[in-house]
Amino acid sequence: KIDTQCMQETDAAHHLHPFADYRLKKEQTSRIMVRGEGAYLWDSEGNRLLDGMAGLWCTNVGYGRKSIADAVHGQMVQLPFYNTFFHTTHIPAIELAAKLVEISPPQFNHVFFAGSGSEGNDTVVRLVRHYWSKKGNPERQVIISRNNAYHGSTMAGASLGGWQSMHSQGGLPLPGIIHIGQPSYLEGGKGKTQEEFGLEAASWLEQKILDIGAENVAAFIGEPVQGAGGVIVPPVTYWPEIQRICDKYGILLIADEVICGFGRLGYWFGSEYFGIRPDLITFAKGVTSGYVPLGGVLVGDRIVSTLMEKGGEFNHGFTYSGHPIGCVAALENIRILEDEKIVERVHSDTGPYLQKKFEALAAHPLVGNAEAIGFLGGMNLVRQKGATIHDNVPFDAALQIGPTCRAHMIDCGVIMRAVAGDRLVMSPPLTLTHAEIDEMIKLIILGLDKTVEDLRQ
């Protein structure tokens, strides 16, 4: 039996958690997870929780996959580490590169490996600038991103990201990284149709390009669906228009698929859902279902052909680029996704089922709007509903209704995530059955009801 209190005290005494307020450190108690199986987690007190967040948007094949553990064990014994610098490599990196190319859109025939999504995005920044230098356009330095985007926590990742809270710590963004508005219909769409607003939000990119001069712009980066920013589902008109603008000005398009990749939107990559053709794709998380850290960048032919033709070293790489343990975990994870037809199921069976059930939550008195796409969803908690979602009346921010509701949901047995603006988001394992989806929705409603009761007191 685990002594939860003793463990929590030790944690509070020594562990500085990511994205945590250290002033609260002394009275903070952390929930300690001890086991996972399928879509469920157990904490040190024996509570069983349905994981509506797939760990941190990543355990796509669910917990407890013995075949991934076996593959990792076998590789640990055979060759636990070797690097991929210069011109050495190993079988797992070779096989994974080929597999990723096989499942990715046709413009991708090469992969650069990293250890995480943040490292993947750092790689992207250096790679696109290297590309434009090699093309003879070194002045093309600027990378345009979006407010409220999340691209990681390294200096370049946090710069690409659009969170003021991250920029203000450490003097970010880095030079040459700028931001435009996000395609949030809730935020900016009042009085417009979704389609109109999608075109308007895309036009901000063209405006920015014209402001700074296309000859200075290297690339545009975006998550197909902004995840950590609150599952911001763009209107259908948005991405095709972004593609048109990038093509018009010859600007590289980077899709950060750290969340949307590996089946989350019912396709191997989220860009396929929106019909766009990125030049680079950042991936991490779902590539191994989070079992082992691994990330990287799919690099399109447009870039690789120039770098091959011009030559010259790309002075960039990580000790753990293409780590053999990460590669075998990814290979087995992808095999599971293929064999169990998980991506297809999210596309045409469990995905539509979950979307319908999740969006029906908008009928709950506390929920102002609820959107889902693939196995991603978000909903806003509101004090009072209006005639349209733009007329809903929010809660006083000081009430912290989102985190309160999230805590009630955990007490009821389901994990969601609370983000700014009283928004709750979900990103469950892609393996959920219809019965598990029903259970998740039931638990979410219980948590919402408890929050309403709370408010009455």
Is 173 near ligand PLP (CB under 6 A)? no
Q: At what angle do helices 66-78 and 324-339 cross, to 10 degrees?
A: 150
Q: Which is nearer to ligand PLP, 259 or 276 (CB)?
A: 259
Task: List all residues 6 or more positions away from 6 whose beta carbon is below 8 Å from its beta carbon.
Answer: none
List the one residue from 36, 92, 183, 227 that touches ligand PLP (CB under 6 A): 227
The distance of closest approach from Cβ of residue 235 to ligand PLP in the complex, given in angstroms and rounded to an integer, is 20
E strands, 102-141, in order = 108-114
SS3 425: strand
The distance of closest approach from Cβ of residue 148 to ligand PLP in the complex, given in angstroms and rounded to an integer, is 12
- Burial of 228 per CB tally in 10 Å (0-12, 13-18, 19+): buried
In degrees and rounded to multiples of 5, residue 42 shows phi and psi of -120, 135
Query: Mask 137-156, x = binds ligand PLP (CB under 6 A)?
Result: -------------xxx----
DSSP character for 292?
Answer: S
List the one residue from 116, 148, 237, 451 that touches ligand PLP (CB under 6 A): 116
Q: Which is nearer to ligand PLP, 100 or 412 (CB)?
A: 100
- Report the DSSP beta bridge partners of residue 36: 41
Closest CA to 220 of 245, 192, 195, 199: 245
Site residues (CB under 6 A) for ligand PLP, limited to 117-136: 117-118, 121
Q: Which residues of 61-91 are buried (b: 16+ CB within 10 A; e: fewer)?
A: bbbebeebeebbeebeeeeeeebbeeeeebe
The distance of closest approach from Cβ of residue 373 to ligand PLP in the complex, given in angstroms and rounded to an integer, is 15
The distance of closest approach from Cβ of residue 165 to ligand PLP in the complex, given in angstroms and rounded to an integer, is 15
Q: Which is nearer to ligand PLP, 44 or 118 (CB)?
A: 118
The distance of closest approach from Cβ of residue 53 to ligand PLP in the complex, given in angstroms and rounded to an integer, is 11
In degrees and rounded to multiples of 5, residue 219 shows phi and psi of -160, 160
DSSP character for 393?
Answer: B
Is 284 near ligand PLP (CB under 6 A)? yes
Closest CA to 279 of 354, 218, 368: 218
Is 295 near ligand PLP (CB under 6 A)? yes
Q: Which is nearer to ligand PLP, 256 or 332 (CB)?
A: 256
The pair of structure tokens assigned to 107 is 């413009």
Residue recorded with tokens 């200096």: 155
The distance of closest approach from Cβ of residue 295 to ligand PLP in the complex, given in angstroms and rounded to an integer, is 6
The distance of closest approach from Cβ of residue 157 to ligand PLP in the complex, given in angstroms and rounded to an integer, is 6
Which amino acid is present at 344? Answer: E
Site residues (CB under 6 A) for ligand PLP, limited to 247-276: 256, 258-259
- Determine the residue with CB nearest ligand PLP: 117
Query: Mask 153-172, x = binds ligand PLP (CB under 6 A)?
Result: ----x---------------
Which residues make up the interface to ligand PLP (CB under 6 A)?
Answer: 116-118, 121, 150-152, 157, 223, 227-228, 256, 258-259, 284, 295
